[in-house]
Structures are given as C-alpha cells and as structure tokens.
Amino acid sequence: MSISVRQARYFIAAADFGQVSLAAKELNISQSAVTTAIKQLEETLGVKLFSRVAKGVYLTAEGARFLSHARNIIAAVNEATQSPLRVESGAEGRLKVGLTYTVAGYFMPRHHARFLRSYPQIEIELVELPRNAIEHRLVEGDLDMAVILVSNLRNKKDIAYETLFRSRRRLWLPPGHGLLSAPSVSLADVAREPYIMLTVDEAAQTAGSYWTRHGLKPNISFRTASIEAIRSMVAAGMGVTILSDMVYRPWSLEGQRLETRGLEVDVPTMDVGIAWSKARAESPAAKTLRDFLSTSVSDGVH
C-alpha cells in the first residue's frame, strides 16, 4: 500500500487543528474520511501517528517526525503543479525581505532555496530584524516585504498581511514525565513544573498573555533566547515548556528524546505570514514571491 497525497493532506490538517472534526470542517469533507485516511497511514507506516484524548488528538513522537515528511510531499506536489506555470510570468528584479528570528531559522531557508531554483531572475536579500524594526522599515519603504510572526504584528493600520499557516503550541516534556500519561493536562498542571521560558520573537510576552488570562503564572527556572538550549534542557529533565510545532524536533543536539503533549486549554497559535506596506504598490517580483509562498503553504506545508 502506498501513501497518497490525499492522506498526507488529511493528516496535516488533523495535526494542525488538533481535532479530526475541525480538520474535516476545514477540508469540507466528512469526519470519517479524515479518520480513515489517518488509519490507513498508520497501517502503512506501522506506527501510531496520534494519541487520542477527550478533546482531540495530539502527535506522537513518530507522528511529529512523519509530519515534516508529509509537508515535504505536499510541497513537492505544489511545486510540480504550480512553479512551471509561474516561471513563465517573466517577473524579475530584486527584493529586500525582512525576517524575524524564528522564521529565519525554522521556515524560510527551504522555501528560499526552492524559490531561487524556480525564479533565478529574481534576486532576494534576506535581512533578520526584530518585529518592531521590520514594521518600521516596511512603512518607511526600506523593505519590500517581510515574512514574520503575523500573530505579533502591531501596526495593522499601515501594514497589510496574509497568514500562511498557524502552528499549534504544545507542552514539551522529557520521556517518562508524569504528565505524558495524565488523562488531560491543564495550565495549572504545568504551573507546578519548572518552566524554561523562551524570550526571542516576543515569546515571553505571548506566553504571559495566555497565562494571565487563566490567572496563573509559570514557575520559570530559566530564560533563554535559544530554542536549541530549551530543547536540550527539556530533554535532560530540567523543566518543561510550551512552544510551537514549527520549532519542535523530537531530539536534542545531544541525541536525547523530547515528547509533546496537547493542553486542555486553548493556547494561541503561532501564525506565520507575509507582511507589506499598504502604501506601496506591489512589484511583479514581490507578487511572485507572495504567490509562491501562499501556494507552497496553502496545504499547511511548512
């Protein structure tokens, strides 16, 4: 039995939404179709891709590893069907594109490489900057566009944006942690654990907002701007954290395992998207890049 594009799409939707019912609604299909596709995938791969809980599903370690492969499958299909048509558009020029830290490290590189292969006549200069600096430079005209965490965007009066995808935030834990086997996990449960707080890309402010909304505070044992440091610390049992699926990897740099667990409360997603100034006309080169990213990620490919 082979893996189909349909199965990959249904699996990605279930992983992104955390509920089969929501995935089915987004795809405009029946819930049973999503469930069947996932079951077929699990049988083909010989692993369990999701753990089922009362409020939905969350990826197993094997599921998290397969998710990146599934996104690559959809990306390859999109590139094969869309890129050849768009190469003939003849768009050319030079773009200066701003990136925030997380986007620069965990999203843009592979898309940038694929874009340059498809559109060698368009030159792109990538610039990593904090979100507030990117917003300022977009308005001033120093950047043509930006790929950022649009969930953090502040100046929506002067800046237009398009959300490419929403990455769910989950609890990261070391193997064998007691919360992995709990029937459900609340923020109050997490608050009793040592917490490793990410500070880059306004992660601490975002976390603070949903902790405050639930009347709780994390028990912060360490703050860092390094996602890899957090990965190593969680894997070593030094604490837990809540971060997005986009930056999740099941292994630390030392080769130690990490696990994820869904939460029973609604934690805001990390939304990645494209931003540009409302006051500036979009160049053909900028439109080509925006269309390329929209197509590549339209099925959750990231």
Instruction: Render each residue's pLDDT in the chain as its tens digit; 302 residues.
Output: 578 888 998 999 888 888 888 888 878 788 899 999 999 999 999 999 998 877 678 888 888 888 888 888 887 776 666 554 444 556 789 999 999 999 999 999 988 988 988 899 999 999 999 999 999 999 999 999 999 999 999 999 999 999 998 888 999 999 899 999 888 899 999 999 999 999 999 999 999 999 999 999 999 999 999 999 999 999 999 999 999 988 988 888 888 888 888 898 889 999 999 999 999 999 999 999 999 998 877 544 34
Q: How many CA atoms lie within 13 A of 255 on its CB side?
A: 0
pTM of the predicted model as reported, rounded to 2 decimal places: 0.73
Work out whether strand 259-261 and strand 93-99 pair parallel, antiparallel, or are unpaired. Answer: unpaired
**Domains in the chain: ranges and CATH:** 5-82 (1.10.10.10), 93-167+271-299 (3.40.190.10), 169-266 (3.40.190.10)
76-108 b/e (C-beta count within 10 Å ≥ 16 → b): eebbeebbeeeeeeebeeebbbbbbbbbbbbbb
User: In angstroms, rounded to a whole number, what is the distance separating the alpha carbons of residues 269 and 241?
Assistant: 15
Q: Which two tokens stand for residue 144?
A: 């043509």
User: In angstroms, rounded to a whole number, what is the distance separating the alpha carbons of residues 12 and 18?
Assistant: 10
H-run or E-run covering 16 = helix 5-17
Instruction: Tell me phi and psi for residue 277, to 5 degrees.
Output: -75, 135
154 residue type, one letter: R
Q: Which two tokens stand for residue 231?
A: 């990965």
Q: Is 39 helix (H, G, I), strand (E, B) or coil?
A: helix
